[in-house]
Structure 1
Amino acid sequence: MADTALQSPPPGPDDDADTATDDLAAERLRHVLGPVAVVRDTVLGGGFYNSARLLELADGRRLVLKTAPRASAVALTHEQGLLDTEALFHRLAARAGAHVPTVLHHEPVGPGNPAEWLLLTYLDGTTWDAARDRITPADHAALRRRLGESMARIATVTGPVYGYPRPASGLSGPDWPSAFTAMLHAVLADAIRFDVALPAPAALLADLPVRFGRQLAEVRRPALVHFDAWEGNVVLGRTGTGAWHLSGLIDGERAFFGDPLAELVGLDPLGSAEEDPDFMAGYRSLGPGPVIDTGARARLALYRVYLALIMRVECAPRAYDGELTAWRDTWSAEYVTRQLAALDALEA
């Protein structure tokens, strides 16, 4: 990385804001670690909700400071205490043997702290999506197997309830049908709140958990689900030009407790992980793994509808640019239509 200090711009109106942010990051580090020297502070891109900064310390440590929007910021119903959820996910996943960042501190919203923040260790490497063009077919197959194994480890964790882990959200329940119904109905209500047109009649979408309640009831254990393990949240590493390896999984802020099959949907939002023999071989290397029968296919279609609705509705409160919003509108309409057709066929 070039030394930008030698090419710094002339003083401008944003300098005070940048200095204030740096001072806040240093203050939070001192709060957790005591006196430390930050030699480099870099804004990390790629996130869609929380902000993140890479803090490189004089003693060689590299940490990530994540900060949520202010509690008063507009957001989807399930977007409450996301950094609290991320801290919980990383702690539970680490105990299960998955490679994830270590949680150093989580600070919730409180007096004098209008936005929660989280301090984590940094996973060295690059995200899978950034390295995609440099991965050989053999490395790709091996990585998918390792990813499947990692997801199987995470799925061994059993939560105390079904749904999102924060009781205040109201998106949890004593069984999976009730929890998933609350989750789906919440994003439908968000569409009304943010005046987002749905890709299918609201009543039809709201009725899906009733139509397929028997299939949802086949889930008998609230497994830990990351639900956002796409290639941008998977970190890879390599030595020189050697083979790539799986460094770990990041950004567990969307996690919930429910059907482990839902992990396949978040992992491949545009594909079908259940049809990937390498991923499924890795998943089943730790046990029998999921059986993709008629009930499982119905549930996968339901989770794909849910994720597509989230990706469509969140464009409004986040004020995404017109091109991204238009793409998501078109994609989600076609995607939901396909999933509804698949559900109709399965029901028949």
Structure 2
Amino acid sequence: MTGPDVITEQTARDVATVLRPLGAVVRIELLTGGMFATTYRVSLGDGRRVVVKTAPTDTDRLLRYEHDLLRTEAAVYALAADRPDLLMPRVLLTDLSRTVFASDVLVVSHLEGVPLVDAGELGAGVEETIQRQLGAFMARLHTVQGERFGYPNRDAGLHAETWTEAFGSMVEALLDDAGRWGTVLPCDEIRAVLVRHRAALTDVRVPVLVHTDLWAGNLFVDPSTGALLGVIDTERSVWGDSLLELAGADQLGRGPAPAALLDGYAAEGGAFGLSTASGATRLELYRLYMSLVLLVEIAPRGYAGDWLAAHRSTAAANLRASLDALA
């Protein structure tokens, strides 16, 4: 019944219990690649495959914005339920009781295609097609508008009537988390640039749905054609500025967005406003924010390995570059 050996008999029983309304479990596979939730691919007796996702149970090690993220993911998928052009899985079942697993459980449909991160070497034309389709997807996603700015989880308190206030609280929460975990940051400088560039943030007047994590692991593609078939992991979505999407899609990068991506965004009627002084400033603020996320999460996640030094160094260098650019 189980796949990899790391899936215990108790886990298998718990998965079967949660999935009982959908059918009998035939096989369970642990999916790797994520660094937050635990995810299983499950084959059912009727031939369907579904994805079961459970949140971390050690909530003391979560950053403030990370609490109840699976509820946000389910809510965003629900928003996309009547929008097939948003390419998201369908929610099949949720268990928010925390009685079977000690955390929330989300069950969604299995997407076609393969994660872009696993697609192997692609031809230049295929890569360009993927970027253009990703830009078009972003534009469609950003037509979904909300009522307030910030993270959807109201309990976290990271939301407000204005983007200036919401984004400020998002940054401040990360600085608080950094202090709690002993991560040394130039907090005074960070707060100073937020004050200095408050006017640019006030230019954002309509909260749109921003995925914030459109890296290659969250994109399902047809590697032969470059068709974008699906998008997952919406748990970090924010009601905010569409420009935040560019920083989230390339969290360790500082170069310009791919031209094909920008072309795809424009072809769907989107406009990032990158050529304006306000747009350029806001993108730099969002790169600063993403660098903060990458640095602050290291301690509570307990990251380790040969990759960590380079990861930390790049995130720190990007933070410094953003601060210098905004000073």
Q: 2: distance between equivalents of 1:330 and 1:101? A: 35
Q: CA deviation at 1:98?
A: 0.8
Q: 2: distance between equivalents of 1:302 and 1:270? A: 14
Contact 2:18/2:100 (8 A) holds in 1:
no
1:268 aligns with 2:250: yes
1:222 aligns with 2:207: yes
Larger deviation, residues 325-334 vs 295-304: 325-334
Q: Match of 1:136?
A: 123
Q: Match of 2:241?
A: 259
Q: CA deviation at 1:109?
A: 4.7
Q: Give the counterpart of 2:107 among 98, 109, 119.
A: 119
Q: Match of 1:209?
A: 194
Query: Aligned residue pairs: how many?
Result: 325
Cα distance change of structure 1 residues 72 and 291 upon mapping to structure 2, 3 Å threshold = closer
Q: CA deviation at 1:128?
A: 0.9
Q: Give the counterpart of 1:56 among 24, 43, 47.
A: 43
1:277 aligns with 2:259: yes
- Deviation digits for residues 170-221 of structure 1, max 9, x if unmatched? 10000000000000000011000000122xx211112322111100000011
- Deviation digits for residues 256-314 of structure 1, max 9, x if unmatched? 10001101111122335753211011111121422211111111111111111111111
- Deviation digits for residues 57-87 of structure 1, max 9, x if unmatched? 1211110000011264421010011101111
User: 3-state SS of the aligned residue for 2:315?
Assistant: helix
1:286 aligns with 2:275: no
Alignment of 1:20-35 (within 5 A): 20-30=10-20, 32-33=21-22
1:325 aligns with 2:312: no
Contact 2:14/2:100 (8 A) holds in 1:
no
Q: 1: distance between equivalents of 2:59 and 2:264? A: 42
Greater radius of gyration (CA): 1
Cα distance change of structure 1 residues 301 and 94 upon mapping to structure 2, 3 Å threshold = farther
User: 3-state SS of the aligned residue for 1:105?
Assistant: strand
Letter in 1 for 2:116: W
Q: CA deviation at 1:341?
A: 2.0
Q: 2: distance between equivalents of 1:280 and 1:297? A: 15
Gaps of 5+ in 2: none
Contact 1:152/1:283 (8 A) holds in 2:
yes
Q: 1: distance between equivalents of 2:280 and 2:260? A: 19
Q: 2: distance between equivalents of 1:291 and 1:252? A: 24
1:40 aligns with 2:24: no
Q: Match of 2:93?
A: 105
Larger deviation, residues 90-99 vs 289-298: 90-99
Q: 2: distance between equivalents of 1:162 and 1:154? A: 16
Q: TM-score, normalised by structure 1?
A: 0.88
Contact 1:49/1:68 (8 A) holds in 2:
yes
Q: Match of 1:183?
A: 170
Letter in 2 for 1:289: A
Q: Give the counterpart of 2:57 among 67, 70, 73.
A: 70
Q: 1: distance between equivalents of 2:2 and 2:178? A: 43
Q: Give the counterpart of 1:170 among 157, 177, 195.
A: 157
Task: Note the aligned Cα RMSD (angstroms).
Answer: 2.1
- Deviation digits for residues 83-131 of structure 1, max 9, x if unmatched? 0111112222344421011111222255666311100011122111111
Contact 2:135/2:262 (8 A) holds in 1:
yes
User: 3-state SS of the aligned residue for 2:221?
Assistant: strand
Q: 1: distance between equivalents of 2:163 and 2:265? A: 22
Letter in 1 for 2:287: R
Contact 1:93/1:157 (8 A) holds in 2:
no
Contact 2:152/2:239 (8 A) holds in 1:
yes
1:249 aligns with 2:231: yes
Contact 1:71/1:109 (8 A) holds in 2:
no
Cα distance change of structure 1 residues 113 and 275 upon mapping to structure 2, 3 Å threshold = closer
Cα distance change of structure 1 residues 223 and 286 upon mapping to structure 2, 3 Å threshold = same
